[in-house]
Amino acid sequence: MTHSFKRLLAAVAITGATLSSAMAADVVVIGNKDNANAVDKAFLAKAFTGEARAWPDGGAIAALDQGDDNPTRAAFYTSVVGRSAAQVKAAWAQLVFSGKATPPKVIDGDAEVKKAVAANKLAVGYIKPSSVDDSVKVLLK
């Protein structure tokens, strides 16, 4: 490998790490203010991949996704689920085809996700931190 190629690879690796860190700061997971369930990152990842279908207290999870082109969706799946949005979408396609699960409902835009979460005790979604207000509670930063 040439010296300049090695520097390019190093720059790409550093940029990728920086973007990943920045993306993690660009999303929060929100829930309904009346939902008393305590959850962690692992549980939320399972809720959005079909592995968990009920809250710890037994209520059915109403997971809400942002649209495919929404950068908040990419940030959420990378930082919370640990997989790309495309990987999760492919996994959901298999689950749906086999009849094993129904994917999260897609509601695009922070304001709409917030409104849907505020209206449903069992809903969970994700938005930009700057969109949080007192209509919902933050489950994960």
Q: What is the pLDDT of residues 55-76, one digit of tens each?
A: 999 999 999 999 999 999 999 9
Instruction: Kindly give the residue spans of alpha helices, DSSP state H, lying in the chain.
Output: 3-25, 41-47, 71-76, 85-98, 110-119
% pLDDT > 90, the chain? 79
Residue 114 CB neighbour total at 10 angstroms: 20
Q: Which domains does the chain have, with CATH numbers?
A: 3-140 (3.40.190.10)
Residue 45 CB neighbour total at 10 angstroms: 20
Residues with Cβ within 8 Å of 124's Cβ and at least 6 positions away in sequence, in order, are 29, 30, 31, 35, 44, 47, 61, 62, 63, 64, 117, 139
Q: What is the pLDDT of residues 71-85, one digit of tens each?
A: 999 999 999 999 999
The number of CA neighbours under 13 Å toward the Cβ of 59 is 14
> Taking the mean position of all CA atoms in its chain, how far away is CA 63?
9
Q: Record the pTM.
A: 0.82
Q: Has residue 10 got a pLDDT over 50?
A: no
